Structure 1
């Protein structure tokens, strides 16, 4: 059975094929958000650009910079039938947007093209931990596609890593159907998602900063100006990633095999990995995020003044001497106003009125798999539990799981939307081998369920935010 949404493509596909240049195409059939179209600036038509390497032969690429300053790429596979994936990338990256970032994303997600989907991705207009502006940039790109390429017959909103939070917020804000109109998105795919919101997802990085400092005393050094570690770095600091790595190696010797480290260095590494519950290989990346991303949050996202993170009341365990460790770590009180401001931008509400499929590697070292349990609780509180299906894979990776995972989930989403067949983790795992000849890497674990986030991250009291979220719904103090 086909969906009524699919019949329109037959009418416009010959026109699309005839408009091979695309740059001057401005055809725009009715769109689900047309009533709000006047509030969005008219975007210039995309221009033909060279495709990055690694895409299917015959793919055509378009690109440009939108009215807000974000770079974007659109890729159309050969024989395209009208389906689209709108992608929200991970990170977040810091600094000014770059077109190269979008080309890298397009190469990484070429599986979408090989599965027959067009692909559209934005660099976002700004770097840093700014979720709602990235969600707006993602929706702006979808509208640009509709205006200058055509209304897709079927649209999936895909978010990866931090971009999963962007996609979730975009679906909450822009995923609803207008009266008498179709919804602009059909389904949502969230992969390796940082889905606990900024107020829950980053607590362990504050824990890493304070425990690392208690052990190593070099970030900052004793002869450098002191600052609260939740700030990441002072505004005028010039520390580089290479210099941070050097400091870590001075203390922990991570650049040497464990057998070549001193007993004291091995003890410190064991303390960090056991207390923070991350692998040794993830120590430097997470410490870097707890430096420069925290700096971005402190300076640009919470209005200055108070900390959005706190560890008062947190009891760290897993070291050789927990009493001594807890006596040494620095303590910070979370400020309710700062928590509210970070929550308003980064915390999902769960109010998504679309089918949502998620996938997460069980041993993801970057975004804890327990974040998916937190997201499921958020969605359930919003009364949308029936719209979410979560899957898990036997993967130790974060940035990319396998071609099979994404192709199988796209297929399951399609059947859910078009035929009303809500997928199950067991059904998805059973369907995967049928695609493996073209899309290898079936590693679904249908019986797995993650524990709560509090089973992975040290528990602490949480302040009651002083205001509701950006969507107008107050959040429980313990919900983050």
Structure 2
């Protein structure tokens, strides 16, 4: 697929003018909510952290629930975690425990850990970044400033963490507050670029299946995701996908038409069968939240000049697929919220599974280009593994990352991917899984090429 950037100076001026009211509203909300957060309350630790670990929980004044864990053999460094998603449901007090367990190897290695739900569900990178930095301040207020304060973002949380590191790099006195950053399987290509393929997926899927929406349902532009008053749920969406493509049925039970529909959809979009329903769900329920609730109905997506390729009849596909043109203000508002400048000030390590089918490894190539364009490549080290899992990689790989980052901070020597792999190998005997680094791999910005 090829895309052409559409816009003009006048459109950009108008778009940025539209951002100003949103910015003022955010600043007003921040000022109103500037009350001091209550101190964390002692809590019983879950059994997946080491014995003698101390835990606290609480709720920030802006609404986010959080948990904190400090091991008995604390090394004096704190990891503040930004979770992925975004989760569309309302936050619950114990939601952070899922990620505390997923990344409990950091507590076992002596780090303190803190994670928040953010104040609400739904899309909002700047909102989540503000809440992430607030959690850092909550910890500092309660326990004093640690020797090192590290920022970790996983999946969409990688976007949140990278944005946090840019927006809240220094305090009011100009001092750096985040010593280092780790981004794992991160959605770090920028909001205006990394969701585009899901808009394409909606258009291509509808061309072949014509059941999302169904012909007898109210019609809507596909870039909206789903009308706010629709009660369609994920299970019902999965049934529609099964009807059209056979996904969820044994291969022998799929019709020839289902097989051809599926083959064309996958070939054109680059999505794999196992993740088709998940990506369509994001392009449905997340798009509804992003576009209709956060962007006031403005369209940030554009396929007006996209040439779709790979089907059994590309001419018919390109002639019949639903087309939509982005609203420049919608693009600008999404960019303001979720795009990255690359102006990093802290040493940053990334890791990405080469075969991640949820957040493509091309995210890291896009981030590499963004950081290079900002002149900050000296602060970035990227690593890659032969894995395909998105939500969690091999535990000793995280250990290797954080240990490499600590050495970088303490000794001033920038690590290589081979250095990270070596530290992983040292840690591997303490865990059930091994190390899967490919120290020579470099991804392309074209996700279909990796």
Query: Displacement of 1:193 after TM fit?
Result: 0.5
- Select 1:361's aligned residue among 331, 353, 368: 353
Query: Displacement of 1:155 after TM fit?
Result: 1.2
Aligned length: 420
Conservation of the 8 A alpha-carbon contact between 2:96 and 2:115 = yes
Secondary structure in structure 2 of the residue aligned to 1:366: coil
Aligned to 2:270: 277
Q: Does 1:303 align with 2:287?
A: no
In 2, Cα distance between equivalents of 1:426 and 1:173: 31
Q: Does 1:233 align with 2:231?
A: no
CA RMSD, Structure 1 to Structure 2 (Å): 1.8
Aligned to 1:27: none
1:288-437 equivalences under 5 Å are 288-304=281-297, 306-437=298-429
Conservation of the 8 A alpha-carbon contact between 1:53 and 1:107 = no
Secondary structure in structure 2 of the residue aligned to 1:436: helix
Query: Displacement of 1:456 after TM fit?
Result: 5.4
The 3 A distance-change label for structure 1 pair 410 and 334 is: same
In 1, Cα distance between equivalents of 2:288 and 2:32: 36
In 2, Cα distance between equivalents of 1:99 and 1:126: 12
Note the alpha carbon deviations across 1:90-144, whole angstroms, 9 max, x for none. Answer: 0000132212321111111101101110100000001111000100000101101
Aligned to 1:125: 119
Note the alpha carbon deviations across 1:313-332, whole angstroms, 9 max, x for none. Answer: 10111111111111121000
- Select 2:35's aligned residue among 34, 41, 53: 41
Q: Does 1:97 align with 2:97?
A: no
Secondary structure in structure 2 of the residue aligned to 1:409: helix
In 2, Cα distance between equivalents of 1:422 and 1:46: 36
In 2, Cα distance between equivalents of 1:431 and 1:363: 23
Aligned to 1:468: none
In 2, Cα distance between equivalents of 1:112 and 1:430: 18
- Select 1:166's aligned residue among 146, 160, 164: 160
Name the TM-score, length of structure 2 as normaliser: 0.90
The 3 A distance-change label for structure 1 pair 431 and 37 is: farther
Query: Displacement of 1:434 after TM fit?
Result: 1.5
**Unpaired segments of 5 or more residues in structure 1?**
1-35, 458-480
In 2, Cα distance between equivalents of 1:251 and 1:374: 34
Query: Displacement of 1:432 after TM fit?
Result: 2.2
In 1, Cα distance between equivalents of 2:329 and 2:32: 34
**Unpaired segments of 5 or more residues in structure 2?**
1-29
The 3 A distance-change label for structure 1 pair 245 and 53 is: farther
Q: Does 1:438 align with 2:430?
A: yes
Conservation of the 8 A alpha-carbon contact between 1:301 and 1:341 = no
Conservation of the 8 A alpha-carbon contact between 1:47 and 1:62 = yes
Aligned to 1:191: 184
Query: Displacement of 1:274 after TM fit?
Result: 1.2
Conservation of the 8 A alpha-carbon contact between 1:189 and 1:356 = yes
- Select 1:206's aligned residue among 199, 212, 222: 199
Note the alpha carbon deviations across 1:399-443, whole angstroms, 9 max, x for none. Answer: 001111100010110111110110111222233211111143200
- Select 1:72's aligned residue among 66, 79, 91: 66
Query: Displacement of 1:384 after TM fit?
Result: 0.7
